[in-house]
Amino acid sequence: MRPTTFSRLMLVFMLVIALCVALLMGIFYFTMRDAQIESRMDALKAQAYDIAYLAATTETSRLETALGLPTTSGREMMRHKLRSVYDEYSAYCMVVDRSGQITAYFLSILEENTDLRAAFDARHIVKTLNTVLSGREVVAQDQGANGPMFTVAVPWIRNDRVMGAVLIQTAAQNVRSAYEGLTAKVALAALLTALVAGLLILSYTRRLSKPLREIADNASSMAAGDFSHRVPETGSREIYDLAVAFNTMSGKLEETEQTRRDFIANLSHELRSPMTNIRGFLQGMLDGTIPTADYERYLGIVLSETNRMTKLVTSLLNLSRMENDDTALSLSTFNINELIRLVLIAKVNQIEEKGLDMQLQFEEDSSFVLADHDQIEQVLINLMDNAIKFTPHGGRIQVLTCAIDTATMGITVQDNGIGILEQDIPYIFDRFYTADKAHTVGQGTGLGLAICKTILEKHHQRIEVLPRESGSAIRFTLQRAKAPLAEVAK
């Protein structure tokens, strides 16, 4: 099974957090360690100077001076000081004179403490002493006999003369223990931070992946043919955009599915009624219900119903061919006024039959357009058919041309017939839509305007219903063209 976005996000976030915490911990640890060591060394240096001062200011007897040792009371103070340094810092101190002889106070501590004695590194002390006796102080970390050691050594000076050295040594371990407790606390804090961050990430990634999961679930329902579900439009920008796009898509698919169902229902209906009529009449003729004398009349109806079905099927085929883009446009420049006249001549019988007043209003004598001549003829025929069909006896039909802009020509077919209701306008270009069922039943297929729209869309032009007080006006546009040279020469 593929890992979920949720688990991947979790993993990435956790890794990033672990990395950040480890990095911060590392930086903190080393900074703390250095700071601790530095402060411990400073403290030890201060102690060393205190001892150096003590050694320098203590009165000495001649014998003691000869030995480089302080007086009795001075000895007590020194012993006390050395012990307190030992107690406080786990560091042993020694005071030596120029000849390198160690004072007794240190020795007594050394005798008491076997560990200390084991850590004692004479070679190292001698090396440090040499530096200090030349007047310099030493702060160093060295490898002692029992592991790493920190050493602080300062000169003790009397009358501007280096009389000897104070040397303090402590095991690195003693310094480390001071910051080890702190490291444990920091580690605990880091663990808690990681835990809280982990919980936050958990809830965040859950919230992030929830809408995605819902979209996936809905997509599955859509695959099963159910387009009714919508996902909540919430979440961050991208998720919100995705949810909106998904809902728009499912809305469109639902519409398409409804159109498909309507189409099949309409088609079945459109075919069934003429077929029922044909079957009824033929049955009547065969079983003698229709007398032979009426045969001609009924056969006439059968023929007209057959024509209607043929027209319907032909229109459907045309429409589907055009929608599938099978028919490429055969563009040519022609005079639209001439085409309008030709269509009118073809319709003259129907116009006269209904006693309609036909008016043409051309903006120019010749208006040239670039389009597929036959397809535009079909558009004009469909619009004229509708105008004749929906205009009562004695009504008026007008065809007007006018330039919309330098590139576009508008052609309007308008009548003072029954008109189109406001609420029907958005649908009349849909397949099988017949607005006024009562008036138009049996008169049309509901495909005429759908065919017009498809043709004009292929031309990248538009067709629309113009607002009108009475009757209806439908305008379509065409691309204007220059007059062909042959026409200019006339």
Q: Given the structure tokens 């065919």, which residue do they identify?
A: 451
Minimum gap (Å) between residue 421 Cβ and ligand ADP? 9
Considering beta carbons, is residue 340 or 420 the nearer one to ligand ADP? Answer: 420
User: In terms of CB distance, is 240 or 433 closer to ligand ADP?
Assistant: 433
CB nearer ligand ADP, residue 305 or residue 415 = 415
Binding map of ligand ADP across residues 181-220, x = CB under 6 A, - = no contact: ----------------------------------------
Of 125 and 473, CB closest to ligand ADP: 473
| Complex with ligand ADP: residue 137 or 464, whichever CB lies closer | 464
Q: What minimum distance in Å lies between the beta carbon of 328 and ligand ADP?
A: 24
Greatest alpha-carbon pair distance for the chain in Å reads 168
Q: Which residue is nearest to ligand ADP (CB)?
A: 444
Binding ligand ADP (rule: CB under 6 A), the pick from 163, 390, 455, 477 is 390
Asked if 233 and 243 count as a contact pair (C-beta separation under 8 A), the reply is yes
Contact 67, 99 (CB under 8 A): no
CA distance 65 to 210: 88
The nearest distance, CB 432 to ligand ADP, in angstroms, is 8
Q: Which is nearer to ligand ADP, 376 or 447 (CB)?
A: 447
Amino acid, single-letter form, for residue 282? L
Q: Which of 231, 472, 476, 477 binds ligand ADP (CB under 6 A)?
A: 472
Write down the least CB distance from residue 423 to ligand ADP, Å: 12
* 102 CB-side CA count, 13 A: 16
Q: How far is the CB of 255 from ligand ADP (least distance, A)?
A: 19
- Choosing from 250, 277, 386, 401, the residue that interacts with ligand ADP (CB under 6 A) is 386
According to DSSP, the residues that pair with 22 across neighbouring strands are none
Contact between 423 and 435 (Cβ < 8 Å): no
Question: Binding residue for ligand ADP (CB under 6 A) from 371, 450, 463, 478?
Answer: 450
Q: x/- binding map, residues 276-305, to ligand ADP, per CB under 6 A?
A: ------------------------------
Which of positions 408-447 make contact with ligand ADP (CB under 6 A)?
415, 417-420, 428, 433-436, 440, 444-447
CB of 450 to ligand ADP, least distance (A): 6
Decide whether 116 or 351 has the Cβ nearer to ligand ADP: 351
Question: Phi first, then psi: what are they for 22, rounded to 5°?
Answer: -60, -40
Kindly tell me which of 295 and 433 has the beta carbon lying closer to ligand ADP.
433
Q: Mask: binding to ligand ADP, 324-363, rule CB under 6 A, as x and -?
A: ----------------------------------------
| Other CB atoms within 10 A of residue 287 CB | 8
Nearer to ligand ADP, 298 or 476 (CB): 476
Binders of ligand ADP: how many residues, by CB under 6 A? 23
Amino acid identity of residue 396, one-letter, is R
**Torsion angle (degrees, nearest 10) of CA 43, 44, 48, 54:** 60
Q: Which of 109, 312, 449, 478 binds ligand ADP (CB under 6 A)?
A: 449
CB of residue 429 to ligand ADP, shortest distance in Å: 7
448 lines the binding site for ligand ADP (CB under 6 A): yes
Binding mask 111-150 for ligand ADP (x = CB under 6 A): ----------------------------------------
Q: Considering the complex, what minimum distance in angstroms separates the CB of residue 351 from ligand ADP?
A: 14
Per CB under 6 A, does 322 bind ligand ADP? no
- Of the pair 133, 474, the CB lying nearest ligand ADP is at 474
Interaction of residue 465 with ligand ADP, rule CB under 6 A: no
What does the binding site for ligand ADP look like in residue numbers (CB under 6 A)? 382, 386-387, 390, 415, 417-420, 428, 433-436, 440, 444-450, 472
